[in-house]
Structure formats: structure tokens, C-alpha cells
Amino acid sequence: MAVSLEAESVASVKSAPIKLSGSMGALSLAMTVLAFSAPLTTVAGYIPVSLMFGGIASPLLFIIVGIMMLLFGIGYVTLNNAVKRPGDFYAFISYGLGKSAGLGSGIAAALSYFMLLAGVTSYFGVSCAELQKSLTGTALPWYVFTLGCWAAVGILGYLHVELSAKVLFWVMLTEIVICLAFAFGVLQAGGNGELATGAPFAPGELTKEGVNIPFAMLFAVSFFMGFEATALFRDECKNPDITIPRATYGSIIFIGILYTLCAYAMIMAYGHTAQAVATDSPATMFPNAFGLFVDNRVQVIITILVLSSAFAASLSTHNVLSRYLFNLGTDGAIPRFFSNIHTRHSSPFAASMAVSLMVLAILIPFIVMNVRPEFLYGQLSGLGTSGVIILMTIVNLSALTWYVRRGKQEGASFLKAFLAPAISTIFFVSLVGLVAYHFHLLVGGEPGERRWMLYCLIGVLFAGMGLAQFYKFKRPEVFARLGRAHHS
């Protein structure tokens, strides 16, 4: 019996199809990747942080960042239409800048998403313990809730992606309803009446004292993350050449509108004191405004929904990381075990199991020592965000290189394949400079104290490039497969 179950659940590299399968539409894909950004958690917990730096001008800054993300998305979609392979950053950078840069970026991407996953999973547990303590006066250890989240995410990641997509769809829909209820509740009431309705969009607010545009933009960019993973699910989409562009553009536009609207509502709710309140008490800014302008009886429900938002972000990140490992394993860049596909669920179950074990391995020391995992959801999450920003910059460069070398000759649009990524490159290169110079804003500590973590991340990228060169000279058959070059 054990033998038959094993045969049913494991597809070997020789017998398994090289492609995953699924029929996700644009809406399901958009919800799957947008769960990564955890909209309700962002609105409740992180937009107030953005207001610390952006002040009254924050909604205008969200519009500017949204436009930059849309320009990035144009180059991203253009590459997707040319590459026509899964692998996302790994495949796109391989296609434009070469296999060495592609493998280094693929491994760096996997590491970045792993750090984000470990962070959000531990954050879920700590937040659950705090909620239980506020309700009952006592609480179970944080890791009890974290392990529950870990187990549930691992099970869903093992099964077919469309089950995860359904879970994420309903969680995301609930989050969106709460965010819109807050925004329209404040706007319908007219806020606190202190500010003119157009004040947050006035360019003059950008020059006011206390506004730090670069810092505010840095945080705003991190709120948009998630849409950049749409191409990873290429083989699991229905008509991917249509689904991926729609999901990418739709995600950017929707999340830009949602965050701009919620930031605007938050400012209108507090008026001229918005920045001061965000600085003094960011954690209570959203629940207090929701209770005042919408309903003060549902604050516990909102807190629970914020936790479900964190769970959804864990599941989304787990699925993204699993597919990076699956693609790297399929090419033989890492052990082929990671490319095993479940014969019944058509899922990258081996990569998913490996991700679960990796997360457990990093949680165990904190559990054994019975310490709160601030390092996980603070410093490592900030480092993971930095990694994704760096990789988005490299994707821009890959799009430009591809256009100059091949795209122009193949009739690619100058506006889509060159101008849009060129403008986006300028923005992201500036952003990388900001990350490097003010790294402490993302990971905590004193200026320069933890910059070594960023150097380690860059070291991993170069180590991956070195590994590609090793394959080129010692295992040319593996090198030939890098970047999913063999995928049809």
C-alpha cells in the first residue's frame, strides 16, 4: 500500500511533465500575487509609517510611485511576451543579460522571498499572541500560532495552486471590502473638516517642512510588491499571454488606487495632525479612525482580519518561493529533487515541502531559546524587500539590453520595450542608492550598523553567477538549460 501511495504522489524527473498545470484567470492570478502585499495589513500598519515621512503629500507620492510601477510593468510584460517561459526574474534576466546574471538573480530572488516568508510567518504568530493577551489577559507562546500558520501554508502549498488561489481570493476580497469601507466612510463624513479636499494632491505639499520624499517613496514602493511574481505562474494560467499582462497591469493599477484612496482617507480623518499622529501612535491610527467614521464595534474583527491578511501573505510568498526553487531544480541548477511534480495535484510539491522545512529550520532556534523573533519579521523582512528592489532594477536593465540586442530588430515597440523601462531604470537605480545609503530604515539599528547584511545578499547574487560559470565549463549540459531555455 505504501508503495502505491508513493507512486501516486511522486512524479520522478524522468516521468514527470516539465510543466506545472492550471487554469487560473487574470483575477485569480492578480489576487494570488496581491496577497503578498497584504493590503489590510499595509493600510492598518504601514501607511501610517509612510505618513511619517510623506505627511499630507503621501497620496500624491503614491500616485507618482504607482506610475513608476506601471512603467516597470510595461517593460516586464514586454519581456514576458518575448520570453514566454516561467521563471520570472530568473528567466527574464537570463534572456536579456545572460545565463550567469540570470542564475545569480534567481538564487538571490529565492533568498529574498525566503527572508520575507520567515518574517511574515513569525509576525503572524506574535500578532496572534498579542491579540489573545488583549482579549483574555494571557497568551500562548507566539510560536504556537506561528507553527499553526506554517502547517496550514505548507498543506495548501502542497496541493494544487487553484485551491490556494481560492483561499487567497476570499481573504483578499474581505481585506479590500474593509479598506474601501474605511475610505468611503471617512470621505462620506467629510473627514474632520480641517483640510480642503484637494490639499493632499497639491504639489506644494511636497516641499513642506517635515516631508522626506525619498524615504516616503522607499516605503511606498515596498507596498506595491507582489505583482512582479505573475510570470512565475505562467504554466498554471489559462491563456498566459493574455492572463499575465492583465493580472500585472490590473494589480498595479488597483493597488495604486486602493493605497492612494486609503492614504487620502487617513489624512482627511486626522487633518493637519495626520503626520504628528502617525509619528506618535501609528499602531492605533487606523483602528481609531475606523471606529470613529465607520463602526467602533468591529475593531476586534478588524484585528482578526489583519491576521488573516498576514496568513494570506505567508501563503502567497510560499507559493512564489516554491516556484523559484521548482524552476531552478528543473534546470538542474540546484538538486533535481526540487523539480518533482505531484501527479494528482500538479503542484511543485517537492519544492513546497523544502520551503516548509527551510522555514521550520530558521524558526527552531527562536523556539528553543524562547525568544521573540524580531530579527525575523524586522531585519530579515527588510533585507528581503531590499533584495526584491535590487532585482527589479536588474530586470529593467535586462529589458533595455534585450531591446538593443534583439528587440529592435524583431520589431518591438520603442515605447514599451525601451522608453518605459529606461525611465523605470532611472527611478529604481535611485531607489537602490537610497536603500544602500539608508539601509537602517528597512532593517533597524544605527546607520551603517547592519549594512553587512546587504553585502551578504549581493554576495549571494555574485556567487550564483560564479556557479553558472562553473556549469559553463564543467557541466555545459546544465548551463545550456539555465533560464528555462529548453522550455516550450
pLDDT for 71-119, tens place per residue? 999 999 999 999 988 888 999 999 999 999 999 999 999 999 999 999 9
Judge whether residue 437 has pLDDT over 90.
Answer: no
pLDDT tens digits, one per residue of 17-51? 467 877 889 999 999 888 988 899 889 888 998 89
**What's the rounded Cα separation, in Å, for the pair 320 and 37?**
13
Instruction: Provide the number of structural domains found in the chain.
Output: 1
Say if 4 falls within a structural domain.
no
Say if 10 falls within a structural domain.
no
Higher pLDDT, 394 or 138: 394
User: Residue 38 region, left (φ>0) first, then alpha (ψ -120 to 50), else beta?
Assistant: left
Q: What is the pTM of this model?
A: 0.90
Higher pLDDT, 238 or 298: 238
pLDDT tens digits, one per residue of 122-166? 999 988 998 898 888 888 999 999 999 999 999 999 998 888 888
**What's the rounded Cα separation, in Å, for the pair 129 and 429?**
40
Say if 227 falls within a structural domain.
yes
Judge whether residue 223 has pLDDT over 70.
Answer: yes
Judge whether residue 460 has pLDDT over 80.
Answer: yes
Say if 307 falls within a structural domain.
yes
Using CA atoms, how far residue 190 sits from 268, 284, 292, in Å, is: 8, 21, 12
Q: Structural domain of residue 117, as residue ranges?
A: 23-481
Question: Which phi and psi (to 5°) does residue 20 adopt?
Answer: -75, 170
Q: Could you tell me how many helices (H) and strands (E) the chain has, helices first?
A: 22, 0
Say if 487 falls within a structural domain.
no
Closest to 488 in 3D by CA, of 324, 330, 329:
330
Question: Which phi and psi (to 5°) does residue 483 adopt?
Answer: 80, 15
What pLDDT does residue 18 have?
Answer: 61
Closest to 157 in 3D by CA, of 362, 6, 311, 276:
311
Say if 7 falls within a structural domain.
no
**What's the rounded Cα separation, in Å, for the pair 453 and 433?**
15
Judge whether residue 297 has pLDDT over 90.
Answer: no
Judge whether residue 335 has pLDDT over 90.
Answer: yes
Say if 58 falls within a structural domain.
yes
**What's the rounded Cα separation, in Å, for the pair 193 and 186?**
11
The CATH number of whichever domain residue 220 belongs to comes to 1.20.1740.10
Residue 1 confidence class, pLDDT cut points 50, 70, 90: very low
Say if 1 falls within a structural domain.
no
Sequence-ordered list of residues with C-beta below 8 angstroms from that of 101, at least 6 positions apart, any chain: 93, 94, 394, 398, 465
